[in-house]
Amino acid sequence: MPRPPSPSIPEKEFLYGSLKQSLRLDGRNPLEMRTPTLTFGPDLGWVECAMGKTRVIAQVEGKMVKPPPERPLEGLITIHSELSPMASSEYESIRPSEEEVTITRMLDKVLRRSDVVDKESLCVLSGQRVWHLRLTIHCLADAGNMLDCACLAGVVALKHFRRPEVEVVGEEHDPSERAPLPLSMHHTPFCFTFAYFPDPTILPVLDPSHLEQRLSAGLMSVALNAQRELCVVQKAGGMPLDQQEVLRIVDVAVGKAKELDKLVETRLKEDWAGRTVEVR
């Protein structure tokens, strides 16, 4: 697939010119995120996250398996994400493109390596039965910044999921009559991506749109939770930034994390209030 043509000269010049005046093409402030819209599906653990026109679906499923012998006390979590050409014609189906590798690795780091879910709580019978959680992420449309959208969808899906409560009765286990349990999570990370541009007088913008991402000189992603703990910082190359600038971006992300945390909690409560869980 030949690479898509880079944006035209008037588009480039107009974008840089308006960013110099702190104007963004969709009318946002430079440090304003698109408000995420979270839609929950009928199943627990199915959530669609839309930020502007960027849409991602995440789903969590759980099943019981035998744990590997070297870790008999911990559950397993696998993340499966594929960017199909449906999201954007830039993603090939055969070889993973660079952006796909970045997104898959970042999701892995944010959701798995930073210990979001308490794996020891997933153990039912040590050495024999543990929960294997499978998080699947489908990217439906890419209008810039698919990474943040995918991370948010994944985290909210994990918070939304309820696993059946099982009791060990002798050697058998039955799903009991109690309500399904939420997963025990250590923390809730959120990812924020900033784009910065070749002109050093233009300050970095948060949540870049498609055109801003293509014309940027580099991206910096910061994943952190509302308790001021950084999970992932990823500035992989791109134009060099001052040390102060890097720390300033981290500070901005800290503020945004608190806001996003409140929003997610409110949405989850609303959805949970609207559901009636059958207890047979």
Partner 1 sequence: MSSRIEILNDGGYRSDGRRQYELRSIDIDMSPQGTADGCAVVSHGLTQVQVCVFGPREARKRAETLHDRAVLNVEVGVLPFSAGERRRRGRADRRILELAASIKSTFEPVIQTSLYPRSQIDIFVSVLAQDGGLLQACINATSVALASAGIALGDLVCAVSGGVHGTFPLLDLSALEEGDLPNVTVAITPRSGKVTLVTLETRLHVDRFGEVFARACEAGRVIHTEMRRAVRARTSKLVDAMGAGTKGTGEEDVERDVLMSEINDF
Partner 2 sequence: MTLVLPGEQVPAQHVNLKLGPGLLQLSSANGDSAIVATRAGDLNHSANRSKWWIESNSRRYVPAPQESVIGMVIARSGDNWRVDIGSAHMATLDGLAFEGATRRNRPNLKVGSLLYARVSLAHKDMEPELECFDAQTHKAEGFGELKGGFVVHCSLKMCRLLLDPKFFLLPLLGARFPLETATGLNGRVWINAKEARHIIAVSRCIEAVDPDGGSMDEAGIKKFLGTLDI
Contacting partner 1 (CB under 8 A), which of 60, 166, 220, 264? 220
Nearest residue to 201 via CA among 237, 252, 245, 254? 245
Contacts with partner 2, residue ranges (CB under 8 A): 5-14, 17-18, 21, 23-27
CB of 74 to partner 2, least distance (A): 47
Cα–Cα nearest to 208, from 196, 226, 198, 199: 196
Site residues for partner 1, 249-268, by CB under 8 A, read: 250-251, 254
State whether residue 28 is helix, strand or coil. coil
Contact between 115 and partner 1 by CB under 8 A: the answer reads yes
234 part of the interface to partner 1, by CB under 8 A: yes
Q: How far is CA 265 from CA 220, 247, 260, 261, 268, in A?
A: 26, 27, 9, 6, 5
- Sites for partner 1 among residues 173-212 (CB under 8 A): 187
Looking at the Cβ atoms of 114 and 209, the one nearer to partner 1 is 114
Q: Interaction with partner 1 in 117-176: which residues (CB under 8 A)?
A: none
Q: Minimum Å distance from CB 167 to partner 1?
A: 30
As a whole number of angstroms, the distance between CA 77 and CA 62 comes to 9
Strand-pair category, 190-196 with 218-224: antiparallel
Rounded distance between C-alpha atoms, residue 38 and residue 149, angstroms: 10
By a kind-dependent CB cut-off of 5 to 8 A, residue 17 interacts, out of partner 2, partner 1, none, with partner 2
Q: Fill in the amino acid letter for 251.
A: D
**Distance between CA 70 and CA 25 in Å, rounded?**
53
- Which partner in partner 1, partner 2, none is near 112 (CB below 5 to 8 A by kind)? none
Binding site for partner 1 (CB under 8 A): 2-3, 95-96, 98, 101-102, 104-105, 108-109, 113-115, 187, 217-218, 220, 224, 228-243, 246-247, 250-251, 254
